[in-house]
A and B are shown apart, each in its own frame.
Chain A
């Protein structure tokens, strides 16, 4: 069959002059990055997508950033001091310019944070609404007055709320700012054709210009992972953010390419509906024993081996092993069908126990769901898979139209971002409406605890309860897998998966 097609196609190839090398990228100082999807609006106040953060990293500096060990390090701010738990002083970098020539100063910080807090559609409000007021002390010093102590706030300033916008442009453009954003980062926005490419060019007066070694950056969204990889192999892309695990061997075999793999902050798990509407009355929704039996029936190691070539790591908590909030004592149990059966028998529900698993229809999650289906069957679970396109699945999850939901989270460096909205009652990612006053109190207490060690101790208590109630069955933590040309050097992999262009360069 192939040879016949080849015979038909050969003349076609000749016709096009055997275009082979003609489509390889020319050797200039343009960096072409393939993304897994098209970002939403490029306004840091309004943006909600993960890939959007990758593009922002090229355009916009933040007050703080993360290093490869997830420590918070200075970027536009040079440091901070807590006068007391509710007064945070930020010291700003001198001589920083926005891409339109405006000066970066305390007033700009105040403007940006105020915009985040007050703009009608702001997605940032919830992240920083513990800020009561912002006071300009002098051009390079800002004081944030907090309603209550919040140890997660600094981490927010290393995320999207910490991105500083050029005040004059932002004020003039209003809600259209995202169509041509202006920040204080290494590259200026040039153009964007949605679903096709985003083009940035070097900002010559960038404060850290000596760390920048490209003239242009292009972000090209390619949804299909096979096509994305083929473009990297063909030389049309210099770098691809997110190679799927099953493609890793192909990249490793390619002499022109190299792969950088590191832990990610993201995880996947199954959220059970334990309190959201009538569906929560299902056997598995009303019995923690059954949920634990369900867990015991799953062999996470085999699961990630089949679906992800063994690249992802089995977990039983929301924070990845690389996080300082990881609790080493919370580990996934080994698969134990006998124990699972015992729990099922003790629950008094007669097998087969029907469970419907809602799954967004991405190929890898569907594959995982089918493996889980086969794994839990011997323990007495009759798992039905309900695949839905992403938007419908989210809609069903939020309205309680599900029993179990296989879903992922991109992850945050700070544990609060991985736990609060998921396990605290009344928050949006808590699809199953899990509500345990003790957990609520602990999560609130962790926000106020002053040190990492103190917070970690509180979170350990949360995990002890979570492992018993099991509203979420954590399955595996992801990896950031970046493929790139061998001659692209200086890439630093940070677990948040964001591509920082500082220090990267071509060897040519």
Chain B
């Protein structure tokens, strides 16, 4: 988000919002949580005490101890190191799939809202149809088709989430279109594409950004769900969802295998939700709903 794009009419509320955000307590907590996980993910090799894929066959499913804070998994790998490294898969899945969803959904929503008429009808029908297919079924089918691995899980989630962004972008565009300065820009004789890019886009950034933050939270859970069904990150690389999948059959004997990855998902998703809430409070003054 370069400042130049945002410099026109939307600039001041945006900056104002950022200043207000600093005073938003739960929003800051979210930011700190998210930042912590980003740091953990980036610095995983430094944070993790041992390699996440180093197996030790004489130490399988050992309970948490000083040596292994979170115990060891079904083939004797350090669970803590795997949770740390798993942050990479989860964060990547969350961010990348939302980028994909935004890259498809926002232009489509902009086009629908801006052009109206047939374009809007057709795009809206497609979005309706996609939303009418249960999200997870859509994602499972896509992931099965693309082949199970992290990259394809991200694509599957991204495509399945795109309709949400299309709706948000379309609604925001329609709102913006009624504003005076658009009329003014039109009257001056600006071509439509220019109006769309220079005037509408900056104004829909705030709702899209809020949606993005909240969608990352959903996407992280979706990735975990897909991995849980065996359609995510490939072994031996850890992802929280696939760790939970493997843990399922050791529920009674090694509950820690299920507890810790789940807690990690919970914390990072909580972080994004808090952050998203905070952003909505300070950016989205209308507060729909």
Contact = CB atoms under 8 A, between A and B. Distances in A.
B10 interface: no
Interface string A170-207: 00000000000000000000000000000000000000
B57 interface: yes
Contacts of A1: 259, 263
Interface string A351-387: 0000000000101101101110110000000000111
A309 to B, nearest CB: 10
Given A361-B148, A387-B148, A387-B230, A369 B235 contact: yes
Contact of A366 (B60, B246, B250): B246
Interface stretch (A98-106, A222-230, A413-421): A222-230
A246 interface: yes
B55 A371 contact: yes
A387 B235 contact: yes
Interface secondary structure of B, over-half rule: loop
B259 A367 contact: no
A244 B249 contact: yes
A224 B248 contact: yes
A305 B58 CA distance: 10
Interface string A305-341: 1110000000000000000000000000000000000
A360 to B, nearest CB: 9
A84 interface: no
30 contacts: A1-B259, A224-B248, A226-B251, A246-B250, A246-B253, A247-B253, A249-B253, A250-B252, A302-B57, A306-B57, A307-B74, A307-B75, A363-B74, A363-B248, A363-B249, A364-B249, A367-B74, A367-B246, A370-B55, A370-B236, A371-B55, A371-B57, A371-B75, A373-B236, A385-B235, A386-B234, A387-B230, A387-B235, A389-B230, A392-B144
Interface in B71-113: 74-76
A445 interface: no
B74, B250, B263, most chain A CB atoms within 10 A: B74
A388 interface: yes
B215 interface: no
Given A385-B235, A386-B234, A370 B148 contact: no
Contacts of B60: 306
Given A366-B246, A387-B234, 16 more contacts: A1-B259, A226-B248, A226-B251, A226-B252, A229-B252, A244-B249, A247-B249, A302-B57, A305-B57, A363-B249, A371-B75, A374-B55, A374-B75, A385-B234, A385-B236, A388-B148
Interface string A228-266: 011000000000000010110110000000000000000
Contacts of A225: 249
B237 to A, nearest CB: 9
Nearest to A390: B230
B31 interface: no
Interface residues of B, number: 25
Interface of A: 1, 224-226, 229-230, 244, 246-247, 249-250, 302, 305-307, 361, 363-364, 366-367, 369-371, 373-374, 385-389, 391-392
Interface of B: 55, 57, 60, 74-76, 144, 147-148, 229-231, 234-236, 245-246, 248-253, 259, 263
A389 B144 contact: yes
Contacts of A229: 252
Contacts of A307: 74-75
Contacts of A367: 74-75, 246
A366 B235 CA distance: 8
B231 to A, nearest CB: 7
Given A250-B252, A366-B246, A371-B57, A388 B235 contact: no
A231 to B, nearest CB: 13
Contacts of B248: 224, 226, 363
A276 to B, nearest CB: 18
Contacts of A386: 234
A462 to B, nearest CB: 33
A363 B236 contact: no
A223 B248 CA distance: 12
